[in-house]
Chain A
């Protein structure tokens, strides 16, 4: 897929945008481009960070300038590398086909906003849970907090706006909904997502190279721990 825009994020990073929506093809393009640069490192490469519909390549300006003397700026050099890479990646299938299963408790003490979500959607609580569990979600991005996965797409029948005033404390493992996104709080933190349940799964691992349970592009199935 061809980028819609390539622009500097400061003088040490370039953002490559494929669009402005949460969709699997755009997210695949972002993940594939990031994976490409992680495996085809150029001199001065620091890291590639995929987001929902874009990827950002961080680099050491001096090292890039030294290695790509034919370009007037490091930005131009990286832009060229990106264009070559996206051409090369034209129709590559997604690199990640991991499936992660997440057991969730929907008990009243954990499902802090289930009542509200049900009211908001005009459905019963059990119907909300059924709809929530019926889908496989994709990790579109990790951000906000270390290991916090932005997942989608939540069925629009149970989509719900963020809380107008964020909770000061959302318990660790809480599973929330914000609009058509769902996510899990890896640690206790303030937050405004509507909490539908809670998992006991640890989202952070002691592994320094892969410190989180989730990776960009993972498929996620929520399971009721009552079943």
Chain B
């Protein structure tokens, strides 16, 4: 009643949606980089709760379903196949016992998510956030009875994040935006930024115009968040990602709005990004709209139908 990692991937981990409530102890929420992909994949398989998912980078792991299983892939397109037959992302699928899931090549995006119906049972194994290795077995919470499998369903394309290797992501002004001169502020939204090699799950360092902070007074450390853009002493920007520290002392120039974080999370080194500045009203409006769409999908997925 588990999935077997038959061949290990470059970086395969089990991720949740972020464990909040412990940041005052310096404990970061962590969680999936592309939370939208993780959420939609969970909804597709009919999970009412945001269950853990497997986050994969390319080359990805080769996985054996040691038990029949309903699953979905979301996020990056790694040209997946099940027993040699190509399968699609964003679609609820069924794997017979002993099926083999493989990924052939990177065809858009850099992080792919696997959700299974009922979720993974990793509490005892403490797999969360640790690299999965060859031979690891990740237990499924609920064994599926094959007769309960009713059919396919997919996410309508209008809802899917439009991944690109040069996305424009929307940002809100940060608490220390006034550390930038007018000229630098203009450059923030008019110039392009390149994701450097010095990027990982903690943060993406960007190369772009070199900013010269107007103020040099040191800040005392204050909270930061997934998507906070800080101005480093060398004049370049870093965007904090899922595994960021809970606080920081660098000026917070801006924050990427949460529904655009997946666009960023799917980038790799040398991809580019541009920023569009919006106000808090607009940020709340588009986020609310997105959540309404997710809610419609959730209802559409009709929880409990397969149980």
State the A residues within 8 Å of B (CB): 5, 7-13, 15, 17, 20-22, 34, 46-54, 56, 58, 61-62, 65, 72-75, 141-148, 150, 210-212, 215-216
Nearest to B257 among chain A residues (CB) is A11
Q: A9-B252, A10-B225 given as contacts; is B22 within 8 A of A51 (CB)?
A: no
Q: Please name all residues of chain A whose beta carbon is closer than 8 Å to the beta carbon of B175 when the two chains form the complex.
A: 5, 7, 9, 15, 17
Total residues of chain B contacting the partner, CB 8 A: 39
Q: Does B299 contact A (CB under 8 A)?
A: no
Assembly CA distance A10 to B258 (angstroms) = 8
In the complex, which residue of chain B has the Cβ closest to the Cβ of A48?
B24
24 CB contacts below 8 A, A to B, read A9-B174, A9-B224, A9-B228, A9-B252, A9-B255, A10-B227, A12-B258, A13-B225, A15-B222, A20-B217, A20-B220, A47-B24, A49-B247, A56-B222, A58-B20, A61-B284, A141-B247, A142-B24, A143-B245, A143-B246, A145-B26, A211-B22, A215-B24, A215-B25
CA distance A52 to B174 in the complex (A): 18
Task: Please state if B220 and A58 are interface contacts (CB–CB under 8 Å).
Answer: no
Q: Which of B27, B172, B247, B255 has the most CB of A within 10 A?
A: B247
Task: Give Cα A64 to B258, complex, Å.
Answer: 16
| CB nearest to A214 among chain B residues | B25
Instruction: Give Cα A188–Cα B20 distance, bound, in whole angstroms.
Output: 24
Query: 1/0 contact trace for B18-30 toward A, CB 8 Å?
Result: 0011111111100
Measured CB to CB, the closest approach of chain A to B142, in angstroms, equals: 24
Which B residues are CB-close (under 8 A) to A73? 280-281, 284
Q: In the assembled complex, which residues on chain A have CB atoms less than 8 Å from the CB atom of B258? A: 10-12
Within 8 A of A (CB), among B211-261: 217, 219-228, 245-247, 252, 255-258
For A216, list chain B residues within 8 Å (CB).
24
Asked if A49 and B255 make an inter-chain contact with CB atoms under 8 angstroms apart, the answer reads: no
| Contact surface of B with A, Cβ cutoff 8 Å | 20-28, 172-175, 217, 219-228, 245-247, 252, 255-258, 280-281, 283-284, 287-288, 291
Q: Given A52-B220, A142-B24, A75 and B247 touching (CB < 8 A)?
A: no
Specify the chain A residue showing the minimal Cβ separation from B175.
Answer: A7
Q: Collect the chain B residues with CB atoms within 8 Å of residue A145's CB.
A: 26, 245
Closest to A47 in B: B21
Q: Nearest-CB distance from B225 to chain A (Å)? A: 5
The closest CB in chain B to the CB of A55 belongs to B223
Neighbouring A residues of B221 by C-beta, 8 Å: 51-52, 141, 143, 150
Choice from B223, B227, B287, B288 contacting A49 with Cβ under 8 Å: B223
Nearest chain A residue, comparing its CB with the CB of B227: A10
CB-contact partner of B20 in A34, A47, A54, under 8 A: A47
Chain B residue contacts of A21, Cβ below 8 A: 220
Q: A7-B175, A142-B25, A148-B26 are in contact. Are A46 and B20 (CB under 8 A)?
A: yes
CB closest chain-A residue, reference B261: A10
Q: Known contacts A20-B219, A141-B247: does B225 contact A74 (CB below 8 Å)?
A: no
Contact between B255 and A144 (Cβ–Cβ < 8 Å)? no
Name the contact of A8 in the complex, choosing from B217, B224, B280 (C-beta under 8 A): B280
Whether B252 lies near A58 (C-beta < 8 A) is no
Q: Is there contact, CB below 8 Å, between B223 and A54?
A: yes
Find chain B residues with CB under 8 A from A54 CB.
222-223
Q: For B174, what are the chain A residues with a Cβ–Cβ distance below 8 Å?
A: 9
Q: Are A58 and B23 in contact (CB under 8 A)?
A: yes
> How far, in whole Å, are A143 and B240 apart by their CA atoms in the complex?
15
Tell me the bound Cα distance from A189 to B224 in angstroms: 21
CB contact under 8 A between A53 and B220, given known A9-B225, A11-B283? yes
Asked if A22 meets B220 with Cβ closer than 8 Å, knowing A8-B280, A46-B21, A49-B23, the reply is: yes
| A33, chain B: closest CB distance, angstroms | 12
Chain B residue contacts of A58, Cβ below 8 A: 20, 23, 225
A159 to chain B, nearest CB (A): 14
- Contact, CB under 8 Å: A143 / B281: no
Contacts known (A8-B255, A10-B172, A51-B220); A62 close to B291, Cβ less than 8 A: yes
